[in-house]
Amino acid sequence: MKNKAVPSQETQQEAMKIAKATQKPGQTKEQTKLIAQGIEKGIAQYKKQQKERSRQADKAKKKAQKAKRAEQDVSLSNSQMEVESQEPRIKPSMLPWVLLMISWIGFIAYVSQN
């Protein structure tokens, strides 16, 4: 069983006002009521369409915000990587050269004593 939504009192009054404004001479009250009901249905359908458009616009807005946020996250991580890659490279340690010099000095001292 389908339950039809009853239009609001405001909508009914607006529909009746429009129906009376467009009333033709010789038109009965029953005909005016039928026209008002048709206008109510039109208003209800219009409201449904507006709600759907609003929902679609909200979805599109949220999707755009999500895409923008994802893009910002990607650009932020890329900029962090660039900062890390721009840091100066660690200079080679002097330790190997010092050890090499000590070993040569030790070798020369050993050879000169014999």
> Could you read off the pLDDT of 17-72 as tens digits, one per residue?
888 888 888 888 888 888 888 988 998 899 999 999 999 999 999 999 999 998 88
- Distance, in Å, from the CA atom of 14 to the CA atom of 21, rounded to the nearest integer, reads 11
At 87 the pLDDT is: 58
User: How far are the Cα atoms of 76, 104, 109, 111 from residue 101, in angstroms, in the given order?
Assistant: 47, 5, 12, 15
At 32 the pLDDT is: 87
Give this prediction's pTM.
0.51
Give the range among 14-18, 55-59, 81-85 with minimum mean pLDDT: 81-85
Q: Which residue has the tokens 């389908």?
A: 2
**Residue 101, Cα to own-chain centre: how many angstroms?**
64
| Cβ-contact 47, 14 below 8 angstroms | no
